[in-house]
Amino acid sequence: MKGIILSGGTATRLFPLTATTSKQLLPVYDRQMIFYPLNTLIKAGIKDILIIVAPEHSGQYLNLLGSIFEKYDIRIDFKVQKLPKGLAEAFVLGEEFIDKGNVAMILGDNIFEDDFSTDIKNFKSGGKIFAKKVPDPERYGVVKFDENNKAVEIVEKPENWISDYAIPGLYIFDNRVSDAAKNVTPSERGEKEITSLHNYYLEKGELEVSTFSGAWLDAGTFDTLLEAGNIVKEKEIYKKFDPIIDKAILEFNEELKAIAKKRLI
């Protein structure tokens, strides 16, 4: 199983905060946002992770994550995406990285209270996504279930109500996903929508959709960024990180302090 974190984009809703750095490098309580999706993948035992970044922020990601996990046998690679072309485009950019394996992709601004390690570890083939009941489903890709709780329809930002279940930014696919993504026709806004891939597997009868009830934080506005930090503290999500991440951050902090002291001498 490989892991991809999609962490590009311009995040214009967070200007001026994102005028100088990537949204996913902004702090959420006691660490940068990017560590939360990293935790989802690392807790599931994933050792090879590709982070897709915008060119103007690539150096910042390299400074933070370039070697932080090396001693723990976790490899972080980076891929520059010059222009955002939709979530499904990540599987085209990551085709060589995915190779013949399966892949779990998570959006860099999605924070979950739930632990999806078992879902990721037990995945065999096809596709698996998740769904959570929300008050504003029109903002998301939405899945409709039948009376047996089986997914029967998936629509991106539906104009008419079909369901209260939104699809968050965690997707697990087999290696057919790259070829499927290549064949996705861009939507009216010129992007390859991730829902096209969901429907690709749904039409084959190979898509599993699981619901969950824990907190799902999409830190894309000032209010949701603040809310994310508050919920991480209140629910003590910051205490539920894989020990590897906590150790790596502590070591990184000590290294920075040592460098700072030398500069003062």
Q: Are 4 and 94 in contact (CB under 8 A)?
A: yes
Strand positions, DSSP E, the chain: 2-7, 27-28, 31-32, 48-53, 75-80, 103-107, 110-112, 127-133, 141-145, 151-156, 165-166, 170-173, 207-211, 216-218
The stretch 98-123 carries a mean pLDDT of 96
Tell me the per-residue pLDDT of 176-194, one tens digit each, with 9 for 90 and over: 999 999 999 988 888 899 9
> How many folded domains does the chain comprise?
1
206's CB contacts (< 8 A; 6+ apart) are: 125, 126, 127
Residue type, 227: E
Given this model, what pLDDT does residue 234 score? Answer: 96
Tell me the per-residue pLDDT of 57-98, one tens digit each, with 9 for 90 and over: 999 999 999 999 999 999 999 999 988 889 999 999 999 999
Q: What is the DSSP letter of 185?
A: P
Is the model's pLDDT at 155 over the cut of 90? yes
Q: What is the DSSP letter of 70?
A: G
Closest CA to 195 of 164, 165, 167: 167
Is the model's pLDDT at 146 over the cut of 90? yes
Is the model's pLDDT at 195 over the cut of 80? yes
Query: How confident is residue 259, by pLDDT bands cut at 50, 70 and 90?
Result: confident
Given this model, what pLDDT does residue 263 score? Answer: 80
SS3 label, residue 201: helix
Domain coverage including residue 191: 2-264
Given this model, what pLDDT does residue 89 score? Answer: 95
For residue 226, give the CATH number of its domain: 3.90.550.10
The answer to whether the pTM exceeds 0.85 is yes
Is the model's pLDDT at 260 over the cut of 90? no
Tell me the per-residue pLDDT of 35-59, one tens digit each, with 9 for 90 and over: 999 999 999 999 999 999 999 999 9
Given this model, what pLDDT does residue 130 score? Answer: 98
Distance between CA atoms of residues 37 and 39, nearest Å? 5
